[in-house]
Structure 1
Amino acid sequence: MVQEKQQSKEPPGTRSFGRALLWPLAAVGLGLLLIHNSVGTPSDAKPLAGPVIAAPASPPPAAATARAHGAGTTLPRAEPTRLIIRSIAVDAPFMPLSIGASGRLDSPPPNDNNLVGWFREGVTPGEPGAAIVAGHLDTKSGPGVFLYLGSVRPGTLVDVVRGDGSVVTFAVDSVESFSKENFPDDRVYKDTPDPQLRLITCGGEYDKKAKDYKENVVVFAHMVVARQG
C-alpha cells in the first residue's frame, strides 16, 4: 500500500498521495470481499479544468460487430489488458489489484497517471458479475487517468481489451457520486447474472484535514457486445 506523506506544510501545487482503496467490507456474489475508498491523489490545488474537446463515443466497426457475440452472451475468464474510453481520451493498460495485509485493496502506483487496476480476485470483464476497475483522479505527476470519469454520460461506450484477444464493449447506464461514509456496497459490488462493469475513482470536495476526497464516483455499465480484436 502507498502511505500518506506526513508533512506540516505543502508548497502550493504539491501533490501528496491519498489513501489506498478503502472499500468497506462487502460480501458479494462468489464470496468476494471488497473494501471501498478513494482512488486519487488529494491536492490543495484548485480543480483542474475539464477537457476542451471530448471525442464522441463510437461503436465497434461494422465488420467486427458482425462477428460479435450476441446480447446475453457471457465469456470465459481472461485478464483485461487495456481500457479504452474514447469520449474522455482514456487509453490505459491494466494492472491487477489485490487486498493487502491491512485488509484494504491496494491502489495503482501514485506516480503513474495512465494506469488502471482491476480486482484480480473478482470476475474479469465479460464474465457474469460486476468487474471492478479503479483509477486515480490525480497523481503526484499530474492529472490521473480518471480525471474526467465523472463527465461521461449514459450510453457512453467503454472497451476492455482482454488477454485472449477479445474486446468487450460496455455501455454506461449511470454515473453517480456517493459519500464514502455512506457508500452503497450492496449496490456497487453485488453479484449480477450478466457481465457488468464498475469504474471507480474519487471525487467531491477535498478534505484538507483528512487529505482525502469525500466522495467516490462510480460508473455503472453493462456489456453490449464482445468481439475478437
Structure 2
Amino acid sequence: MYTCLILTALTALTGCTDAASPKPSAAARGTESAATGKTPAPGPGTASAPSSSRSAAPPVHVTVPSLGIDSAVMRLGLNPDRTVEVPPADKGMTVGWYTGGAVPGEPGPAVLIGHNDTRFGRAVFHDLKKITKGADIAVRDDRGKEIHFKVTFRETASKKAFPTARVYGRTETRALRLITCDGSFDAAGHPVDNLIVYAERS
C-alpha cells in the first residue's frame, strides 16, 4: 500500500496513504504508522501559538466549498517520537487540527492536516491540489462561530526540504495552513512531497 506523511514544523506532520496502488509489503505491517513514515513537527525556534489563543474556542468543523470538502475536525498532538500525529486511516475523511499550533482565527499559524488517500480509498484532502488562490475556507469553532480564510497561495515541497519556518514560523496574522501528501512515489511506495495551502483570515 502506498503511504505518505506530511511534513510541517515541529519536525513532521501528517501521514497519508494512497490506496490506489497497494503494496503487500506495507499492508503486511499491519499499522498505518509503520507503513507511512514520519512527518516533521515544529522544532525549537519555530513559534507555537500565542498564549492568548489557548483559551480560544477550538475548531470542530471545516468546509472548502469550491472543493466540496465538508469535515468534522479532530485534535492531533505529537507521537512519542515527536512527530505530529495524523488522523487514523479509518478516519480518512476527517481533518485533524494540530493542537501545538494556533487556534484557527487567532494570531499565528493554525495547521489542519488531512489524508490524500488511505487504504480505504480517497480521503478528505484528495482534491486539495485543485484549490485556487482566493478560495474560501470556513472553520467553525465549538461555540458555533464560523471564521473565514482566503487562500493566498499553495506549494508542493519535498519532505526532505520541508519549509518549516514558512509553515510554522511566528506571525501576527491569523493564518491557516492545510497539509496533505503529494508528488511521485519513492522506492518504498511513499509519496515524496507534501502539498501545503496557505490562507489568511478574510
TM-score by length of 2: 0.79
Structure 2 Cα separation of the partners of residues 42 and 142 of structure 1: 7
Tell me the amino acid that sits aligned with residue 189 of structure 2: K
Unaligned runs of 5+ in 2: 23-51
Tell me the amino acid that sits aligned with residue 158 of structure 1: I
Question: 2:142 maps to which residue?
Answer: 163
- Out of 124, 143, 148, the position equivalent to 2:122 is 143
- Out of 191, 201, 204, the position equivalent to 2:180 is 201
Instruction: For residue 15 of structure 2, give the secondary structure of its aligned residue in structure 1.
Output: coil
Question: 1:52 maps to which residue?
Answer: none
After superposition, the C-alpha distances for 1:35-60 in whole angstroms (9 at most, x for unaligned) are 224531034639xxxxxxxxxxxxxx
Is 1:180–1:216's contact at 8 Å kept on the other side of the alignment? yes
Tell me the amino acid that sits aligned with residue 100 of structure 1: N
2:192 matched to 1:214?
A: yes
Question: 2:201 maps to which residue?
Answer: 223
User: Closer, same or farther in 2 for the Cα pair 1:38/1:125, shift >3 Å?
Assistant: closer
Structure 2 Cα separation of the partners of residues 144 and 160 of structure 1: 19
CA RMSD between the two structures? 2.1
Question: 1:123 maps to which residue?
Answer: 102
Question: 2:16 maps to which residue?
Answer: 40
User: More helix per residue: 1 or 2?
Assistant: 2
Tell me the amino acid that sits aligned with residue 194 of structure 1: T
Q: Which runs of 4+ in 1 moved over 3 A?
A: 19-23
Structure 1 Cα separation of the partners of residues 6 and 85 of structure 2: 6
Aligned length: 172
Question: 1:189 maps to which residue?
Answer: 168
Question: 1:53 maps to which residue?
Answer: none
Is 2:102–2:108's contact at 8 Å kept on the other side of the alignment? yes
TM-score by length of 1: 0.70
After superposition, the C-alpha distances for 1:93-137 in whole angstroms (9 at most, x for unaligned) are 111101111111111011123101011122110110010110000
Percent same amino acid among aligned pairs? 33
Question: 2:42 maps to which residue?
Answer: none
Unaligned runs of 5+ in 1: 1-14, 27-33, 47-73, 225-229
After superposition, the C-alpha distances for 1:146-193 in whole angstroms (9 at most, x for unaligned) are 001011000000000101211000000001100111111111111110
Instruction: For residue 167 of structure 2, give the secondary structure of its aligned residue in structure 1.
Output: helix
Structure 2 Cα separation of the partners of residues 219 and 176 of structure 1: 7
Structure 1 Cα separation of the partners of residues 162 and 92 of structure 2: 25
Tell me the amino acid that sits aligned with residue 40 of structure 1: C
